Structure 1
Amino acid sequence: MRVSSTVERLDVAPGGTGVVPLEVVNTSEVIESLSVRALGVPEASVRVEPDALALFPDAAGEVRLTVGLPGSFPAGTYPVTFVVAGRAPGAREAFHDVDLVVPPNPHVRLDATPTLVRSRSRGAFTLEVRNDGNTPLDVALRAQDADRTVRTTITPSTLAVPAGSVGTATALVKGPRQLLGGDRDRPVTVHAEAPGTQSRVDLVLKQRPTISRGLLTALILLAIVLAWALAFLLGTREVLGAEPYAKVAPASFFAATHEESRTGDEQAAAAAGGGGGAVRPAGAVSKKGPVPAGVGATLTGTVRGQADGQGLGRITVVVVREGRDGPEPVASAATKADGTYAITGLFPGEYVVRVRADGYDAARYPASASGTGADHVEAAAGQVTKGVDLTLTGHPATLSGTVEVGEETPGTEVTVTARPTWGGADAALVRETTADPEGGYTLTDLAAPGTYELTFTAEGYQPTTTTERVLGGQERFALAVRLGAGTGSIAGTVTDGSAGVGGVQVSTSVDGKELVVGTPTVGSVGSFVLPNLPTPATYVLTFTRGGFTTRTLAVDLRPGEVRADLSVVLTGGEGTVTGRAVDEDGAGLGGVTVTAGGAGATASTTTLTSGDVGAFTLTGLGSDKPVTLTFAREGFTSVTVPVTIPASGPAAPVAVTLRPAVGTVVGRVTRDGTGLVGVTVNATDGEVTRTTTTTATGRHRSGSYVLSGLPPATYTVTVVVDDEVVATSIVTVTGGEVRRDLPVEG
């Protein structure tokens, strides 16, 4: 059979098709019905037209092969072998090799469960990153909100997703606390980006207010009732007061009638006038407590961390003024999530703004650690003083957690690296450690406050990244992380013991689906690659080709392991030899090792020890080739016989006789021609000694003896009578029987 084609390289995009025309010539002497099968791609991917091609001897015909690939077929170059075979007995197969080139087709799809969460402050969304393409992708996840009012953290922020697989991440969306009002939608868009492809999904955090409308209405009604009650109480008190009526407002009408707010003249005038004297309403503002709206001052600013420059929430800012007894705190406020604060209702004047918080060094505006040297902030009546910003230096933080790599590979060394995410961070701030055998790790001396990207790496596993933020002096325990094993591959060469064998079908099972590749017949003959194999796992590989014995091999892959050194030897072919091994008496001899050698054959077997004792059958031998059979058993001399395997059918049965490998010395001891009975005969080579006594009957009549079981060597045979050696002979034993008669003189 002869085959040729104009196509040696076939480019097929995922989801597309390609055509390979084959011209076939029937070189046999019979009419053939030819069929074509493909090695290296799934059988269902190839359509053959026509299914069977009938050709007369020396006739030519064409077969059209259409290769169609699913959209998820992995990218790469695959050696594909098309095997053309006839149906007549002894028909030879023909091969044509094609390099199937599948270009990358990246495609990522991002889904979320759920897409809407109703909560007061935060919501968690599960993200599913699906790689619907045909090549592994490194996917980066990022969040975007239009009004920049929410904070979104995605863990992990990068994923390595093999083709056809799904990676998961968690998006935590946190909105600013909403005190009053109705539900408010906080839309967030998450983008998944990879080289050549991207996807997005819209999320909504429906944020509920802390105080609902119903509760607010109830509080307003309660306040109205309390206001009426208070007004009634105060009005009654004023009406029934002790102060007399006057043409001017009484001194108690003004808040500034406290003694410390009057001058000496004012106090004297008040005493002379019975409390209703000259009082300046302009000075009637108390220096204690908040002042009326429109009169009090406001200070605003932002508290940031020194390390990353980000705003710090839940930090108490205190304003201090100089009183009669020294510095006196007069008001305070807590920072919002973004670090901003506002202190209102301040009496106009100069103040010192300070911050003290656990885990941070004390600070005063603008940057003093003590009151000395701190700038005073001028608070003007009815005005807002902006830019009163403070920077806090946090104490070093500690971050602990656990990382798992699965039970299949205990003791795997995992490296944990913390890298600061803020711009301009010094490389010296990077921290690295190794997880202990139980998976625990601790990162110490982290600059705080700051956000860090934690990267977990281990040999054979896909790197995983998470993001964690630490505050000043914080000892935080991070979320547990589980590493996913990377994909591996198995590659090697199939030979017949000396040269590569092409056209071999190599198959295995991956997640219940059969994966089949073939070995090329030109170029790198006999080589094969099974790529993108999930690990850790054990794969059973089957090597099949007509004319050779099928071989099965189990291969263990550690996480992410790449095996490229597999060497597989296929023996013989489909030829068969049968026969029987017997001893000298024609009885079947079991336990004889039968080995086939020559022409690359390495098959062996053992003769039966029960049933048809001595019988054997050897399969997997090359057809129409000479084979040498060697028969060996301990205690017997090995025998080698040549056998020729016919092109079809088994060879003629082989019968082999094995002779003992030890020797036997037999003979007679005589005197004057008469056999001597009862005398001792010894045989020794200095290490082995055999002794017997002559008998009156035997194969050699009276006076005969038999010394058996002698290993090959030179022996001294002696006749002993009354403890005296009366005859001696030298005998060489090589196996079998040696006759030696010993006459005794006298």
Structure 2
Amino acid sequence: MRVSISDRRISVVPGVPTYLTVTITNTSEVIAGYSIRFLGADPEWVTFDTPDARLFPDASTDIRVGLRLPVGVPAGARRMAVQVRELTAEQAVAIEEIVVTVPDQPGLGLRLDPSTVTAGRRGEFGVVIENNGNTVLVGALRGVDAEKKIDFAFTPGQFRLAPGETLTGRLRTKAKRPVFGALAVRPFGLFVDDGVVRASAEPTAPADPADPFAAAGPAAEEAPTPAAAGVFIQKPVFARGLLSMIGLLLAVSVFALVISVALTSVMARSAADRDLALQVAQARYAATTATGTAGFAGTVRLLSDGQPIAGVSVEAFDESDTSVAVATTASDDQGVFAIGNLPAGTYKIRMLGAGFSEVWYPAALTDADAQSLTLSAGQRMTGLSVLLGGVPATISGTVLGTDVAGATVQLQIPLDSPIMQGLVGAGAGDAAPESGNGAIVRTAPVGADGTFTLAVVPSPGVYDLVVSKMGFSTQVQRVDVAAGENRSGIEISLIEGDGSIAGTVTSADGPVAGATVIASFGQNVAQTVTLTQDAIGTFTLRGLQTPGTFTVVVSAPGYAPATLSVNLSEGQQLTGMSIPLGKSSGTLAGTVTTPAGTSSAGVTVTVTGGSVTRQTVTQSGSSSGAWRISNLPLPSTYTVTFSRADLESQVTSVTIDANGVVSTGSSAVTSIDASMRMSTGRITGTVTQAAYGTGISQPADNVQVTATSGAATFAVTSASTPEANRGNFVLENLPPGTYTVTFSRKGTRSMSSIVTLVAGQHIELTPNLVSPASITGRVMMGPDAVSGIELRLYTAEQFGTAAAPVMVTRSDSGGGYAFEDVDAPAHYIIEVRSAGGSIALTTSSAITIAQSDSAKYDFTLESLS
């Protein structure tokens, strides 16, 4: 059998199949079957187009082997082998080693959580860095913003990530905060400085001036693409919404005050309003005396929220005489007005409405300050817009209850009103804003008799009246105030909280003392702590407004907060609640044991779950092999990996529930223990050899023991001392694989064994070598044996030189002699000398001997001198 491989060194990219060809040739004289295996790789990684072959003599076949390493295999070179076994005849095995190289594939994932932060001068982002390549990455993060106004600070400053490892860090941003105006939107990008060259993104669209990373021309196309992008939104010190609200309220108040002072007829407003209402009604139907083809059109809206106003009288005056209107109309339900049939000329327009202040177009208090509008013949001027503010209103009423003194009444603009749109309110997907949380317009104390008055209220408008007092439930009543209205007779009941919630806060370890319990419903908030003695863990929340739905939040150091919703009916006293708290973090611990003779210290223990990765090493000393990792988020499932260079890695999966209970599979455990094996194997044994002439085997020293696997060779020599260890050998630290173990000794035929070694395995071999080569014979003189004659053994190459003999012996009483343990194969010459060794009597011809052969050569002497 002959086996060859197309490539003995291949590069394999994880996830991408790589192929090589194995050629098998049948060198025997019979039909033979062969099976092929791939050693050193998981069987699921390897495919064969034909795992078995059957060949005629001298026939060959090619078998295509596909190797697909899983994604995540670390970079580097590793040795593997192709094994071909003959299924017939001698069951021969051929092993061909290959070197598989996994190239470096750096990969890094970077994201911000959240990617957008709204804050003032400083913002804080979470940074998640993940090494999704197959090599260790070492580097640092760098932030860049196009305006160069942000200072970036990363924690940690640098990172070192093994393949598959994840690190959670923090990014703090700082920039000068705008004082007034709109939000400052500051986009930025994160770059990774780790020595890895990453491709630049090709621009696919024209440059966007608002994007600091968009392509800005030919020179910008080479700019690197950020690994992650974020936005730091800065709120101004004085927000636009706040300024708008202050300006609006100030304008309304000043406008109302000016109108109140300017119009002496305000005291008789009711009569004027009736007259004005009649005037408006007449205007709707009155025919104007003017005739022509020009005209005006526009819209009348509320100053406070921009809503249209119906029934406002609109009068047109000739610029030269503003005492008599030349045309009159009124706004419809949409606030729209139109005056037509006017001759060419210059005009001024005045707006009057019941409860509203008089306004000359566009926003003047007198005709002298009004804007003149010039019309040509046939011209129709449209799009005129006028804002009217109502005469300040007054709201008064009574707060009912047993103890109303000290209560406060607030007048608030509701968050869901049109004026607050775009300033404050619920975002997309958020719940609608609750009543009683609006913008405060007026505040007034409640007298001892329960009365209150809110004066100079901008009108018209819709408001929330919010009555509150410590120990009582907050009451909210919505009122709709007409322009200039004097609203009175409002009654609001101040109700003392009559509901309660009582119960116990518990955990897996028992009641929890000192836990904080907060119940909230709108502005009604109650708080307490659980008892630390007597009835430990119990609590009672009193004075709760009913009926209502309360959000109860329970928190305690070392525990994860619990939130639940509780419904209380009218006057309900809820008791017997049991609120369980889970631990905020858990702990994994255990012990690692290693094979005898090795230390259990220094084993790396890695715990990974989601975005959390923690690592430690086993201890030394009296607690050798012990390990512990704390502060693990709960509940979660974690993968625990045990590794050390000289040991075979182990992986186990554990689950920690909300109470910190650890389980593997379906059973709870208190310790995660691991018993590890060596990552290498060993071959040991004792070599014996049959002694010359007896056939009895004895330990053999100085035997060369060689283990070969592909290009790797390991060799030792069997021991010669001490006598008790004679013939012993040990081959240690052998990588897993298939080895050919050969035993060689001078003059002896070698023998071999094939063994397959897995990690941590110990294989024992006891080979018995055949007897070594020897040369024997007799020395005769005639019929008589000659004893005491000296015989010298020389190699044929050294005979006749000054070289010393290889061996020397003497003939025994029967004339016999023997040279044992002769090195072979070799050619020898024996020289026979006299008993004193001084006279050469004769020499042999060249004697050729092979390993473990026994040659015989007899001598016949003519004389002894």
TM-score interval, smaller chain? 0.3 to 0.5
| TM-score normalised according to structure 1 size | 0.34
Q: TM-score, normalising length from structure 2?
A: 0.30
